[in-house]
Chains A and B, each alone.
Chain A
Amino acid sequence: MAYKRRIDRLPIIPADAKEHNVTCHFCIVGCGYKAYTWDVNREGTPEPAGNKLNVDLSKQQPAETTAWYSPSMYNIVKQNGRDVHIVIKPDKNCVVNSGLGSVRGARIAEESFSEARSTQLQRLTTPMVWRYGQMQPTSWDDALDLVARGTAAVIADQGEDGLFVSAFDHGGAGGGYENTWGTGKLYFEAMKVKNIRIHNRPAYNSEVHATRDMGVGELNNCYEDAELADTIVAIGTNALETQTNYFLNHWVPNLRGTSLDKKRAELANEPHEQAIIVDPRRTVTVNACEVEAGKDRVLHLAINSGTDLALFNAWFTYIAEKGWTDKAFIAASTNGFDKAVAANKTTVEEAAQITGLTPDQIRRSAEWIAQPKQGGARRRTMFAYEKGLIWGNDNYRTNGAIVNVALATGNIGRPGGGCVRMGGHQEGYSRPSDAHVGKPAAYVDKLLIEGRGGVHHIWACDHYKTTLNALKFKQAYKRRTDLVKDAMSAVPYGDRRATADAIVSAIKRGGLFAVDVDIVPTQIGQASHVWLPAATSGEMNLTSMNGERRMRLTERYMDPPGAALPDCLIAARIANNLERVFREMGKNDVADRFKGFDWKTEEDAFMDGYHKHEKGGEFVTYARLRVMGNNGFQEPAVGLESAGSTGGPERIVGTKRLYADGKFGSKDGKATFMETRWRGLQAEGKEEERRKFAFLINNGRANHVWQNAYLDQQNEFVTDRWPYPFIELNPQDMSELGLKSGDLVEVFNDNGSTQAMAYPTPSAKRKQAFMLFAYPTGVQGNVVSPGVNELIIPNYKQTWGNIRKIADAPEAIGHLTFKSQEYSV
């Protein structure tokens, strides 16, 4: 039986409940929510005056009402030490989501720490250290002393290159400007750590180096552009599932034709809108576009996996040949067009051969992108790409190739245009220069496997679930961290210096001392020696920006669990302790570098970081962000405006689109076209893997699940639906493998093996499987090869393997539905 909460009544928000601004801390879209809190012994009443919603709650409310919240939007949490009811519901007045809540964001409340209602009791509440053969609670002072001594000893022995770091670089939960600055100041200013990586890739690098090298920042448009575009080109992005309310609130109105009024108001004479989707797999996004726009206005280009580059070069060539380029824009705002046209020349027929598309599909899509409209007006085309491209074959060139098409057609900095990364997390990057890291950056996971480094600081990362070559990584990591565990266990309790010496001695024998800062016990945490409990969004004030650079402040609405602290303050306390320990070691010059971490609050870190260092940061303070509410402003801030006759604090003025003046982010203000020749499957070993194994093991996200399920793994609604990761398979392939719905299968190749449950999917192409990525009960990364591009960008998507049945569907799967996920009537 499907999971049901058996809740048939919820407390009513009283009229005097406290209201807090909340930006959803999950995906990049950053939907606006409001958190309402009030004392646990009270509730409102149904009559309008008796409740915050000012509505008669004794009546059934209509569709899209603001006067309803689901059980998942409710909880009881601690606020300043007292139990309070909390409702976190979508904000109708937020321009991002207009009151929509996704299946992830609408569970923020339920996924909060609540002792009263037993939700998220997995949260770390106390620092923990390896003691008596298991993780045991201890004080902050004790844990930080151990971290500082272990770290300082390694640095004294190996230099700063012996300190390895895995750290978030984004916004939202496990990130934000406060926390990227806190960690950044520690590792890039107090130290110059080089062996550092980001949460989802094995090095410290950009996912989109190419567009930046061309002078085009990747978040250059605004969400409204999706409402204004004539054509939306979606590449390797399954937006309905992964940027849900961006798609529903801004793409769908255009596809449905309901944004026509806005178009008429802002842009005269616009034709009907259409969508081109480049994805080897038929996603629910493709289906929804067809439902809304009609099949004749959606082109699903189901290319051979990893061949995007050839398609883009063919578009570029064909558009240039047809003269459908924006010549004035190219002349005024770009360099290198002719050179790129010559270098990237790819005929439609050549691209058809490589991509598996028909020449007609390529020509038609090029027409939709660039053929002038009736009357000769330039077509407004928005290009949106995500992990299908980013984690795909030949990242750097492929990214460059799509920016070439956008630049050639004058679609950057203009209404209805943009060439943008769709994004996973929100953004929130504020750090001192990372120039010392170098390019290409160190392949950190490979170095760890090879036995390099002595201490590893991990911030909200779980390599065990989210890296490539994950099985081999885990094998090596366990071996190395076990050496240190055994050494620590051999020291009599209370002898800290002996413990530090034992750790150093184990490190000399190939061991690794691991410190894990996180909100929950992670899988890599099982191998760690210290856990430091962090606060998450809403348990601290947190700033981030979304995919259109919209910056908001989530106001603290509840207490962190137990002794948990914001990451920025944990970084500061590590710095304080390193300063103390280095001084004890007689290294005053080193100790002095750890000054400047006397922050008491996250706001201190914000003012030290973003406010002082980021472009336009001087205009941005918490007080002003509170006034700007859930609509915030779009970065960069360019000034302040008076609140007018209403009085109150000044408002922050932002930037709706980047490059609206045709000036780009390079020395001469021009964007540069890139030479992007096709070179087949680029990463080492991929072509051999493709030839050797039967199935493409494509992989990605699912609607229900946020990131690696770090919270969802304790949410019954999600684990009821997905007890194991699904693998979508064509029914004929299933039949040949002797599989029924829900059977457990092993996916394997020369890199490793993992498991999933078979989900029959008639729209799946033969021999093309799609597996849920980064799920705790079956890690797809186990079968992803270590092959990367020249800048150490992983290639998760092009993975091939074989599949065999492990067992009939286990009991936990018996109640599941395996019907098609595509809406139709």
Chain B
Amino acid sequence: MKRCNHLVDVGRRHFLTGAGAISAGAAAATVLPSEAKAAAGGAVVKYPSNRLANVRDLKVNEPLQVAYPDKDAPGVLLKLGSRVPGGVGADGDVVGFTTICQHKGFPLAYKASDKTLNCPGHYSRFDCEKGGQQIWGQATQNLPQYTLRVDEKGDIYAEGLDELLYGRLSNVL
């Protein structure tokens, strides 16, 4: 477990301070998540619609740390600067992903120079411009991406996920 903790720390450090990633004290999204409760026994989980940020909070290629569908599920919002799959907003370039690796649950670090999320645990890499496709790695899923909606005020809401998150057997606990 020593190694595991060490890695988590390393990963966290990379995420917070790594090349081009958000600096310590980066804006944490001002959100009050609504209560997330799984419908008992339901075949499909009911996702909360959570406001994560406003488009004005985003700067091109600077990750904004968020959490969805609850505070125990860290993620990131990105304005990539060019239209991408799953992108929303006026430029179709705003995307959101979990930042926990689907392989063994280590925190991913954002690498701004090629717009990828990278895992310090076992070197997996995910392309934020290609729907979280695993470029290389040990995860058996491409990276869970947020279903996003932007309202007329520019508020960005997450309203779903397209893959099961690491460390939970229901995306909504």
Contacts of A63 in B (CB 8 A): 4, 7-8, 100, 104-107, 121, 167
Q: A60-B168, A68-B167, A253-B3 are in contact. Are A823 and B125 (CB under 8 A)?
A: yes
For chain B residues 1-41, which have a beta carbon within 8 Å of chain A? Answer: 1-4, 6-8, 14, 18-19, 38
* CB 8 Å contact bits of B125-167 with A (1 = contact, 0 = none): 1010111111111111110110000000000000001111011
Pairwise interchain contact A819-B45, C-beta atoms closer than 8 A: no
Bitwise, B99-113 to A at CB < 8 A (1) or not (0) is 010111111010100
Of the candidates B123, B141, B166, the one whose C-beta lies within 8 Å of that of A717 is B141
Which chain A residues in 49-93 approach chain B with CB under 8 Å? 57-65, 68-73
Instruction: Mark contacts of A1-31 with chain B using CB atoms, 8 A cut-off: 1 yes-contact digit, 0 otherwise.
Output: 1111111111110000000000000000000
* Nearest B residue (CB) for A60: B72
* Residues in chain A near residue B131, CB distance under 8 A: 1-2, 4, 815
Q: Are B2 and A258 in contact (CB under 8 A)?
A: yes
Given contacts A823-B123, A823-B125, contact A7 B118 (CB under 8 A): no
B60 within 8 A of partner (CB): no
**Alpha-carbon separation in the docked complex, A100 to B171 (Å):** 22
A720 to B140, CA, bound (A): 12
Known: A70-B141, A256-B3. 9 other contacts (CB 8 A): A2-B127, A60-B173, A63-B4, A63-B100, A100-B122, A287-B123, A703-B137, A717-B142, A823-B136
Interface mask (A743-778 → B, CB under 8 Å = 1, otherwise 0): 000000000000000000000000000000000000
Q: Indicate whether B120 reaches chain A with its CB closer than 8 angstroms.
A: yes
B118 with A825: CB separation less than 8 A: yes
CA distance A73 to B140 in the complex (A): 9
- A411 in contact (CB, < 8 A): no
**Within residues 229 to 267 of chain A, which ones have a CB less than 8 A from any CB in chain B?**
240, 244, 248, 253, 256, 258
B48 within 8 A of A: no
Do B85 and A2 have beta carbons less than 8 Å apart? yes
Among the 9-residue stretches A101-109, A369-377, A511-519, A545-553, the one with 4 or more Cβ atoms under 8 Å from chain B is: A101-109
B82 within 8 A of partner (CB): no
Instruction: For residue B157, give the distance in angstroms from its CB to the closest CB of chain A.
Output: 17
Q: Is the beta-carbon distance between B142 and A825 smaller than 8 angstroms?
A: no
6 tightest A-B CB contacts, nearest first: A823-B123, A2-B133, A63-B105, A2-B131, A821-B136, A72-B140
Shortest Cβ gap from B6 to chain A (Å): 8
CA distance A11 to B139 in the complex (A): 20
Decide yes or no whether A40 CB sits under 8 A from chain B: no
Interface size class of A (residues with CB under 8 A): 35 or more
Q: Does B50 touch A at the CB level, under 8 Å?
A: no
Q: How far is the CA of A292 from the CA of B122 in the complex (A)?
A: 11
CB neighbours of A60 from chain B (8 A): 72-73, 167-168, 173
Contact at A819–B173, with CB atoms within 8 Å? no
For chain B, give the interface size range. 35 or more
- What CA separation (Å) do A248 and B138 show in the bound complex? 11
Are A821's CB and B135's CB within 8 A?
yes
Q: Does B169 contact A (CB under 8 A)?
A: yes
Q: A65 touching B105 by the CB < 8 A rule? A: yes
Residue A304 CB within 8 A of the other chain:
no
Q: List 8 A-B contacts (CB under 8 A).
A: A4-B144, A8-B172, A63-B104, A100-B104, A103-B137, A284-B136, A820-B135, A824-B111
Is B130 in contact with A288, judged by CB distance below 8 angstroms? Answer: no
In the bound complex, CA of A248 to CA of B3 (Å): 12
A383-B127 Cα distance, complex, nearest whole Å: 36
Q: Please, which residues of chain A bring their CB within 8 A of the CB of B135?
A: 817, 819-821
Do the beta carbons of B130 and A68 come within 8 Å of each other?
no
> Are A721 and B134 in contact, with the CB atoms below 8 A?
yes
Q: Which residues of A contact B123 (CB under 8 A)?
A: 240, 284, 287-288, 291, 823
Question: Which residues of chain B are within 8 angstroms of A244 by Cβ–Cβ distance?
Answer: 138
Residues of B within 8 A of A822 (CB): 136
- Residue-wise interface mask of B (33-69) relative to A, using a CB-CB cutoff of 8 A (1 in contact, 0 not): 0000010000111000000000000000000000000
Residue numbers in B under 8 Å from A101 (CB-CB): 103, 138, 140
Nearest chain-A residue to B38 (Cβ)?
Answer: A9
Partner of B45, one of A8, A284, A815: A8
* A7/B163 in contact, CB under 8 A: yes
Interface centre among A69, A100, A103, A820 (most CB of B within 10 A): A103
In the bound complex, residues from chain A placing their C-beta under 8 Å from that of B121 are 63
- A68, A248, A253, A721: which contacts B133 (Cβ < 8 A)? A721
Chain B nearest CB from A803 CB (Å) reads: 23
Question: B167 contacts A62, CB within 8 Å?
Answer: yes
Report how far A65 CA is from B165 CA in the complex, Å: 13
Write the chain A residue with the least CB distance to B43: A9
**Contact (Cβ within 8 A) B136 A5:** no
A821–B166 Cα gap in the complex (Å)?
22
Residues of chain B within 8 A of A256, CB atoms compared: 3
Cβ–Cβ < 8 Å partners of B116 in chain A = 819
For B124, the chain A residues whose CB sits under 8 A away are 823
Say which residue of B73, B103, B170 sits within 8 Å of A9 (CB atoms).
B170
Q: Find A825's partner among B14, B139, B170 (CB 8 Å cutoff).
A: B14
Contact pick for A64, options B43, B104, B138, B141, CB 8 Å: B104
Let me know if A2 and B173 touch, CB within 8 A: no
Q: Is the CB of B111 within 8 A of A825?
A: yes
B residues less than 8 Å from A821 (CB atoms): 125, 135-136
* Residue in B1, B19, B140, B163 with the greatest tally of chain A CB atoms within 10 Å: B140
Tell me, yes or no, whether A660 is within 8 Å of chain B by CB: no
B86 nearest in chain A by CB position: A1
Closest Cβ neighbor of A99 among chain B residues: B104
Cβ proximity bits A794-825 to B, threshold 8 Å, 1 near / 0 not: 00000000000000000000011101111111
Q: How far is the CB of A29 from chain B (nearest CB, A)?
A: 13
Q: Are the CB atoms of A8 and B136 closer together than 8 Å?
A: no
Please, what's the 1-or-0 string for A694-730, where 1 marks a CB less than 8 Å from any CB in chain B? 0000000001000000000000010011000000000
Of all chain A residues, the one with the shortest Cβ separation from B6 is A258
What separation, in Å, do the CA atoms of A598 and B120 have in the docked complex?
A: 54
- Could you tell me the distance between the alpha carbons of A815 and B135 in the complex, rounded to whole angstroms? 12
Of all chain B residues, the one with the shortest Cβ separation from A53 is B169
Are A9 and B44 closer than 8 Å at their CB atoms? yes
CB distance from A196 to the nearest CB of B (A): 37
> Are A71 and B163 in touch, CB under 8 angstroms?
yes
**Closest residue to B105 on the A side, CB-wise?**
A63
**Alpha-carbon separation in the docked complex, A820 to B135 (Å):** 8
CB-CB under 8 A from B134, the residues of chain A are 2, 721
With the chains together, A100 CA to B137 CA distance in Å? Answer: 13
Residues from chain A with a CB closer than 8 A to the CB of B173 are 58-60
Which residue of chain A lies nearest to B133 when distances are taken between CB atoms in the complex? A2
Q: Is the CB of A9 within 8 A of B169?
A: yes
Alpha-carbon distance between A71 and B142 when the two chains are bound, in angstroms? 12
Asked whether B127 lies within 8 Å of A103 as measured between CB atoms, the reply is no
Chain B residues, Cβ within 8 Å of A73: 140
**Closest chain A residue, CB of each to CB of B119:** A823
Give complex CA distance A256, B45 in Å.
41
Contact (Cβ within 8 A) A1 B169 = no
Name the residue of chain B whose CB is nearest to the CB of A106. Answer: B140
Contact assessment for B138 and A102 in the assembled complex, using a CB-CB cutoff below 8 Å:
yes
Tell me, rounded to whole Å, the shortest Cβ–Cβ distance linking A578 to chain B. 44
Chain B neighbourhood of A12, CB < 8 A:
169
- The answer to whether B127 touches A823, judged by C-beta atoms less than 8 angstroms apart, is no
CA distance A717 to B161 in the complex (A): 17
Please give, as numbers and ranges, the residues of chain B lying within 8 Å of A248 by CB-CB distance.
122
When chains A and B are docked, how far (Å) is the Cα of A653 from the Cα of B104?
33
Which of A4, A103, A253, A825 touches B138 (beta carbons < 8 Å)? Answer: A103
From residue A756, how far is it (CB to closest CB) to chain B in Å? Answer: 18
Task: Name B108's closest neighbour in chain A (CB-CB).
Answer: A825
Bound CA–CA A9/B144 (angstroms): 13
Asked if A703 and B168 sit within 8 Å, CB to CB, the answer is: no
Question: What is the CA–CA distance of A274 and B116 in the complex, to the nearest angstrom?
Answer: 29
Chain B residues within 8 Å of A106, by CB? 138, 140
Interface residues of A in 277-331 (CB under 8 A from B): 284, 287-288, 291
> For B145, what are the chain A residues with a Cβ–Cβ distance below 8 Å?
4
Q: Which residues of A contact B138 (CB under 8 A)?
A: 100-103, 106, 244, 703
Residues of A within 8 A of B38 (CB): 9
Cα distance A4–B145 in the bound complex, in angstroms: 9
